């Protein structure tokens, strides 16, 4: 039943990717929700900005809940299927026994993640019970961030491994909170405020600072690669694909956090709504590239024996970017909650 394999990819590797994706989203959403609530409640921003930061911070709970449940479901399957994990074009592959041992060791942690997610879900009508305090400190977000950070970093048994290999595995797991998870959080914020320029002018100024954290995550990923032996790099299509996409990410990130964000804010401030909408379309394209790039890198990292050619990989890459852009436009047409600001807190 679990012998499914196509293009060198096996089912348990797909489940491992899903586990990392869920933890990335839950951990990153917890992190940025904590930051927004702290800024809003400790007078680090003006009062009007604090209102909208609180709103988006509380709305982040849906990402935490969704990511937490996804991670738990994938972990549950992985403990049965016996996983293998690999990362970004390197041949240092964890063995099945090591990953299974780590999954078993982390059993209480994943149960806690699922428990917190369920508790938050049933309390959705009164989120202040879970997410807020007079000092802007959220016990829920702090706890879910810590749990997600440990779970995503410890995906193979590190006991007995040399220090350089241990750090390699930890960084290659943890950086996803700063990269893939944060990128998806940015997109969530962009979608949540796309019809509300008065909200964007308070939230968008934070985007360049958030983007810097993505660069930190990329640095952790590159640093971890330096901690392994040079001959561990496998010069395969998936490796070249990952490295080219990293280059695309760097260029795209500079444009998105730089000129595009500045132009949107400038036009909003000056009241040029039509111009702002035009630049938002550029932001939609850049955001789709960013999301697809990090998803792609994380995805191919899990399939060490993938035998898909480079041209097919990039064909799929472009197809996913196009799909996300179309999805953005559809969402923008049907979602009016941000425009009416029916704050579902």
Q: Is the pTM of this model over 0.85?
A: no
Tell me if 72 is assigned to some domain.
yes
Per-residue pLDDT of the chain (345 residues; tens, 9 = 90+): 444 566 556 677 778 888 888 999 999 999 999 988 888 887 666 666 778 888 888 889 999 999 999 999 998 888 876 544 434 444 344 555 666 777 778 889 999 999 999 988 887 777 777 776 666 678 899 999 999 999 988 877 677 666 666 777 777 778 888 888 888 888 888 777 776 667 777 777 888 788 888 888 877 777 766 655 454 556 677 777 877 887 888 788 777 777 777 777 777 676 666 666 677 778 888 888 888 888 888 787 766 667 788 888 899 999 999 998 888 777 767 755 544 444 444
CA angle 328, 181, 280 (to 5 degrees): 30
Long-range Cβ contact pairs of 96-101 (< 8 A, separation 24 or more): 97/157, 98/156, 98/157, 99/16, 99/155, 99/156, 99/157, 101/156, 101/157
- Tell me, yes or no, whether 130 lies in a domain: yes
DSSP per-residue string spanning 36-47: HHHHHHTTSS-H
Beta bridge partners, 6, equal 9
Residue 147 lies in a domain: yes
Instruction: Assess if residue 280 is contained within a domain.
Output: yes
Residue 345 placed within a domain: no
Q: Is residue 107 assigned to a domain?
A: yes
Domain range for 134: 5-340
Whether 16 and 299 have beta carbons less than 8 Å apart is answered as no
What's the number of domains the chain is made of? 1
Residue 115 lies in a domain: yes
């Amino acid at each position: 039943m679990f012998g499914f394999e196509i293009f060198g990819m096996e089912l348990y590797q797909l489940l491992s990717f899903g586990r990392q994706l869920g933890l990335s989203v839950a951990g990153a959403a917890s992190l940025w929700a904590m930051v927004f609530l702290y800024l809003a409640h400790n007078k680090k921003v003006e009062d009007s900005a604090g209102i909208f930061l609180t709103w988006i911070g509380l709305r982040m709970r849906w990402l935490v809940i969704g990511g937490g449940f996804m991670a738990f479901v994938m972990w549950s399957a992985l403990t049965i299927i016996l996983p293998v994990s690999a990362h970004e074009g390197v041949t240092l592959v964890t063995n099945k026994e090591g990953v299974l041992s780590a999954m078993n060791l982390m059993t209480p942690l994943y149960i806690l993640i699922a428990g917190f997610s369920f508790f938050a879900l049933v309390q959705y009508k009164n989120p202040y019970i879970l997410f807020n305090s007079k000092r802007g400190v959220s016990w829920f977000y702090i706890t879910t961030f810590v749990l997600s950070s440990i779970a995503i970093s410890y995906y193979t048994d590190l006991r007995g491994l040399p220090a350089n290999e241990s750090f390699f595995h930890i960084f290659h797991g943890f950086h996803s909170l700063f990269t893939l998870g944060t990128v998806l959080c940015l997109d969530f914020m962009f979608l949540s405020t796309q019809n509300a320029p008065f909200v964007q002018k308070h939230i968008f100024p934070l985007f360049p600072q958030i983007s810097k954290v993505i660069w930190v995550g990329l640095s952790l990923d590159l640093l971890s690669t330096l901690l392994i032996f040079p001959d561990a790099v496998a010069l395969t299509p998936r490796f070249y694909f990952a490295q080219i996409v990293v280059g695309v990410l760097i260029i795209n990130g500079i444009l998105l956090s730089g000129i595009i964000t500045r132009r949107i804010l400038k036009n909003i401030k000056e009241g040029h709504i039509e111009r702002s909408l035009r630049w938002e379309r550029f932001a939609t394209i850049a955001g789709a590239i960013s999301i697809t790039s990090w998803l792609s890198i994380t995805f191919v990292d899990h399939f060490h024996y993938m035998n898909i050619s480079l041209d097919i990989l990039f064909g799929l890459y472009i197809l996913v970017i196009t799909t996300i852009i179309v999805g953005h436009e559809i969402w923008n047409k049907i979602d009016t909650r941000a425009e009416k600001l029916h704050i579902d807190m």
